[in-house]
Amino acid sequence: MNEATIDADATDRMLLQRMSTGDRVALATMYHSYHGRLCRFLSRLTRRTDVIEEVVNDCFWIVWQKAGEFRGDSRVSTWIMGIAYRCGLKTLRQHGDEPVEDDAIPEDRIPSSDPDEDRELRDWLSKGLDRLSADQRVVVELVYGVGHSLDDVATIMQCPVGTVKARLFHARVKLRNVLPSLAGESPVLKESVS
């Protein structure tokens, strides 16, 4: 854990402690701090903005109520991501939803002001992630996007570390096969996964 991560966690713990006393300013600060990363994380499960918004608020509703019960066994971010993940799965089950495909996303959800390079990168990523299962996408997002360790991801997804390792491995193998061709390149090496 690097110094920035330690500082961020200390800040989060302080905010959580204030929230446990009913401090709404602390809640607002934490909400804004996590909103972007939670939306991005949840967008790996579903592209429906109404569902994502609902899950973010369900997550923070729980965080607000349980702030005083946080035992500190993990980083605050790990705890919050775990809540969001479980809320996301629950909400998707209730809605009976599967992740929405790219072609179902209205054009106005994609900002037209995106630099071309970013748009290309997004497109490349989106097509690559589409080849993965929801669990694999979540692991990739948590490791590469959020920067969590295998132990953190296991805590968030409430599964053994070995399962996380396997999901990450298979996700990387799949991406390794498809990403170069999506970028207009040939795969560097031939696939040899058994």
Of 35, 5, 40, the residue nearest 122 (C-alpha): 40
Residues forming the site for other proteins (CB under 8 A): 1-2, 24, 27-28, 31-32, 35-36, 39-40, 43, 47, 49, 52-53, 56-57, 60-61, 64, 109-111, 114, 118, 121-122, 124-125, 128, 140-141, 143-145, 147, 149, 166, 168-169, 172-173, 175-177, 179-180, 183, 188-194
AA letter at 109? R
Question: In whole angstroms, how close is the CB of 28 to other proteins at the nearest point?
Answer: 6
Instruction: Tell me how far, at minimum, the Cβ of 89 lies from other proteins, in Å.
Output: 18
> For the packed helices 24-42 and 3-20, what is the interaxial angle rounded to 10 degrees?
130
Residue number, 1 or 14, with CB nearest to other proteins: 1
Q: How far is the CB of 158 from other proteins (least distance, A)?
A: 21
CA dihedral in degrees (2, 144, 80, 71; nearest 10)?
A: -40
How far is residue 140 from each of residues 41, 101, 109, 125, measured CA to CA in Å?
A: 10, 18, 23, 11
In the chain, the largest separation of any two C-alpha atoms, in whole Å, equals 57
Write down the least CB distance from residue 172 to other proteins, Å.
8
> How many Cβ atoms sit within 10 Å of the Cβ of residue 109?
8
Q: In the complex with other proteins, which residue's Cβ is closer, 7 or 53? A: 53
Of 86 and 119, the one with the shorter C-beta distance to other proteins is: 119
Q: Which is nearer to other proteins, 8 or 179 (CB)?
A: 179
**Of 86 and 172, CB closest to other proteins:** 172
The alpha carbon dihedral of 51, 52, 56, 57 has a sign of negative
